[in-house]
Amino acid sequence: MTTDTNPIAMAAITSVGAAGMPRHHFAIFAALFVFLIAAPFLLYPIFVMKVLCFALFACAFNLLLGYGGLLSFGHAAYFGMASYVSAHAAKVWGLTPELAIIAGTLVAAVLGLAIGSLAIRRHGIYFAMVTLAFAQMIYFFSLQAAFTGGEDGIQAVPRGHLFGLIDLRSSEVLYFFVLAIFFAGILLIYRIIHSPFGQVLKAIRENEPRAISLGYRVNRYKLAVFVLSATLAGVAGATKAIVFQLASLTDVYWTMSGEVVLMTLLGGMGTVFGPIVGAAVIVTMQNYLATFGDWVTIGQGIIFVVAVLLFREGIIGVLAKWIRKPL
Amino acid sequence: MFELLGIPPQVLFGQLLLGLINGSFYAVLSLGLAVIFGLLNIINFTHGAQYMLGAFGAWMLLNYLGVGYWWAVFIVPPIVGVTGIVLERVLIRRLYHLDHLYGLLLTFGLALIIVGFFRQFFGVSGLPYPPPPLLTGGHNLGFMYLPNSRAWVIVASLIVCLATWFIIEKTRLGAYLRAATENPVMVGAFGINVPLLVTLTYGFGVALAGFAGVLAAPIYAVNPNMGADLIIVVFAVVVIGGMGSILGSILTGFGLGLIEGLTRVFYPEGSAVVIFVIMALVLLVKPAGLFGRSV
């Protein structure tokens, strides 16, 4: 699935600034950082943290879809399982929040390795169906397993003390912890995308047989990006469990997998900043339409249809075309 | 009475029968997906919603117009098929020149819209559909009790599956279809209206989903969410069988239903995931699927 419009021409007109990052990217990251520092004083912190968790989730997903060209329809498995493990670790094992998040992330990575190594045996549509089916298996496992609490989920997860020192019960303090995780996550994704590894991924996305003929072990690259994506989705899910003090079946269900696809599609597949915008739009919509029940589902379906038919570059993709610079 | 591995035969055969019924639905639904995929190269994510439409169609005919089950079996599938034809003509058609994954995303969005509307207006609690008098009783076969409604589902879906196989493999229309699957441009050059064939194929595949929905109405409660989880299992069935062969889809569907039934007897906790585990094994051993050609 390619969304870039003539990336070579775009790269040519892009000026490079500090740390090898194009100047306008650096400016956007800086502006985003300043905005997010100010955000908890302007907006409801819990809401912004929700956006940050989903934005990281969507960026992780976009690493796989936008740069690896692999449509996983089962990313809820990593997000949700990490959130269960992190909630369990914080509540039952009494781990500090950063250790609980690491535990959840590790489980997501292992799960990603197991499912990824099976799923990359098929291509295209089959890949999507295989990942969806495995995610449904994880959902049934979560429904039956004892530690997940079945329909109730894991409730009243303690936020705990960061490094055993800083009390996270205050949402303002927690916010800056979440912000640090979010920024570390998206900068890591940015680094992966712009590394030689990321360039090989794009080559595989554009023309797999040619990448094979050039001697790249395509399946290793695919598996690596799958595991990276699952791991970062796990970071997002584990953090969400600490923020909301809750891990539930919603996070592992296929609707969640669909939502992250929608966020990425709406924001712009294969763009750095698109998934963040997509996540912000979708979470805001869910927040304000929450009282309208199933109209949220209908609205999401309509956005899907419109985005696929008329708007395949996504919001940021259109913007990038407009200013003739990659975003 | 004899016992098998400590399981009373009534339980064993009862679960096998339930498995066969699930298998009937897997077979009819995966057949529809395979027919659509063959010609359109898209995975029809709306299939579960269209199955639900079939069940609601039967329910609406009964409750709004007083039209009974036996008429619904013949009336509803063509109606659901026509709604599919409209979707294909208006929306899905616009994506054929793009990556096939966009077709998956579009049909996923359509499924959300359809299911969302039905949830909004009919709730999620499920509506009862009384079975017609002919299907209420049952027969005692000696080793087990066979309810008529269940026997009918198995027989009806077998008939529909075999009829589909006959149409596709043995008739002139089916020959056009298979030829267009192999090489649509060449078939078009011979003067066959391929776009029309594509539309009709989609309508037919969707009608199969609607038919499965009508069959499901008296057995399961009519519920907007009835198709959502089922379709994911059917995706796994399709991955296991591969979409290369019509008979392969039918065999895989019924076979996996039986295996699921057996699992429910011997290891009930595993019955929800057994098909996914089999999918993992098949991906390890024969990634193209049991009856598939490698893609």
Provide the residue type at B16 as one letter.
L
Q: What is the pLDDT of residues B167-221, one digit of tens each?
A: 988 999 889 988 888 888 898 899 889 899 999 999 999 999 999 999 999 888 8
Cβ B295–A308 below 8 Å, yes or no? no
Surface of A (135-154) touching B: CB under 8 A: 136-137, 140-141, 143-144
Q: By the 8 A CB rule, do B266 and B30 touch?
A: no
For an interface test with B, the pick among A308, A309, A311, A312 (most B C-beta atoms closer than 10 Å) comes out as A308
Instruction: Choose between B126 and A196: higher pLDDT.
Output: A196
Instruction: B156-161: list long-range contacts, CB under 8 Å, 24+ apart.
Output: B156/B24, B156/B73, B156/B215, B157/B24, B157/B25, B157/B27, B157/B28, B157/B212, B157/B215, B158/B24, B160/B28, B160/B208, B160/B211, B161/B27, B161/B28, B161/B31, B161/B250
Cβ B269–A118 below 8 Å, yes or no? no
Q: By the 8 A CB rule, do A262 and A304 touch?
A: yes
For B223, residues 6+ apart whose C-beta sits below 8 A from its C-beta are B52, B55, B124, B125, B126, B127
Provide the residue type at B158 as one letter.
L
Cβ B102–A261 below 8 Å, yes or no? no
How many angstroms separate the CA atoms of A151 and A174, rounded?
27
pLDDT at A13: 42
DSSP A247: B
* B-chain residue closest to A74, CA distance: B232
Cβ B110–A141 below 8 Å, yes or no? no
pLDDT at A3: 45
CA distance B292 to chain A (A): 12
CA distance A234 to chain B (A): 22
Nearest CB partner across the interface for A298, out of B42, B98, B117: B117
Q: Which residues of B touch A309 (CB under 8 A)?
A: 91, 94-95, 106
Cβ A133–B99 below 8 Å, yes or no? no
pLDDT at A162: 83
Nearest CB partner across the interface for A121, out of B119, B236, B287: B287
Cβ A134–B229 below 8 Å, yes or no? no
How many angstroms separate the CA atoms of A203 and A47, rounded?
38
Cβ B236–A129 below 8 Å, yes or no? yes
Cβ A136–B42 below 8 Å, yes or no? no
Nearest CB partner across the interface for A261, out of B42, B105, B228: B105
How many angstroms separate the CA atoms of A151 and A144, rounded?
9
Helix (H, G, I), strand (E, B) or coil at B138: strand
DSSP B126: -
Q: By the 8 A CB rule, do B17 and B197 touch?
A: no
* A-chain residue closest to B87, CA distance: A305
Cβ B43–A125 below 8 Å, yes or no? yes
Residue A301 near chain B (CB below 8 Å):
yes
Mutual orientation of helices A171-193 and A23-42 as an angle, nearest 10°? 160
* B-chain residue closest to A257, CA distance: B108
Q: What is the pLDDT of residues B272-291, one digit of tens each?
A: 889 989 988 888 888 888 88
In which region does residue B123 sit, left (phi positive, over 0), alpha (psi from -120 to 50) or beta (all else)? left
pLDDT at B206: 95
Residue A26 near chain B (CB below 8 Å):
no
Q: Residue B147 belongs to what H/E stretch? A: strand B145-147
| Bridge partners, A154 (sequence order) | A247
Q: Is the pLDDT of residue B295 over 50?
A: no
User: For chain B, what are the domain ranges?
Assistant: 29-99+148-285
Cβ B108–A124 below 8 Å, yes or no? no
- Would you give the end-to-end CA distance of chain A in angstroms? 17
Nearest CB partner across the interface for B100, out of A122, A124, A296: A124
A130: tokens are 């295989």
Q: How far is CA B132 from each of CA A279, B69, B72, B214, rounded to the nearest angstrom?
A: 49, 6, 11, 12
Rg (CA), chain A: 19
Cβ A298–B94 below 8 Å, yes or no? no
Q: Phi first, then psi: what are they for A248, rounded to 5°?
A: -140, 175
Residues B48-55, mean pLDDT to the nearest whole number: 94
pLDDT at B68: 86
Q: What is the pLDDT of residues B60-78, one digit of tens each?
A: 999 899 888 899 999 999 9
Cβ A141–B295 below 8 Å, yes or no? no
Residue A123 near chain B (CB below 8 Å):
yes
**Residues with pLDDT less than 50, chain A:** 1-14, 17-18
- Scanning chain A, the segments in alpha helix (DSSP H) are 7-12, 23-42, 45-62, 76-91, 97-119, 124-144, 171-193, 196-206, 208-213, 218-244, 254-267, 274-289, 295-310, 314-323
Nearest CB partner across the interface for A304, out of B109, B119, B269: B109
Q: What is the pLDDT of residues B221-261, one digit of tens each?
A: 899 989 988 998 998 898 888 877 788 888 999 999 999 99
Q: Which residues of B touch A73 (CB under 8 A)?
A: 104
DSSP B130: P
DSSP class per residue in A70-122:
---S-THHHHHHHHHHHHHHHHTS---HHHHHHHHHHHHHHHHHHHHHHHTTS
Q: CA torsion angle for A97, A103, A109, A112 (degrees, to 10)?
A: -100
Cβ A137–B104 below 8 Å, yes or no? no
Cβ A294–B283 below 8 Å, yes or no? no
CA distance A254 to chain B (A): 9
pLDDT at B51: 95
CA distance A205 to chain B (A): 12
B232: tokens are 């994911």
- What interface predicted TM-score (ipTM) does this complex get? 0.86
User: For chain A, what are the domain ranges?
Assistant: 44-254
A211: tokens are 């990448």
CA distance A65 to chain B (A): 11
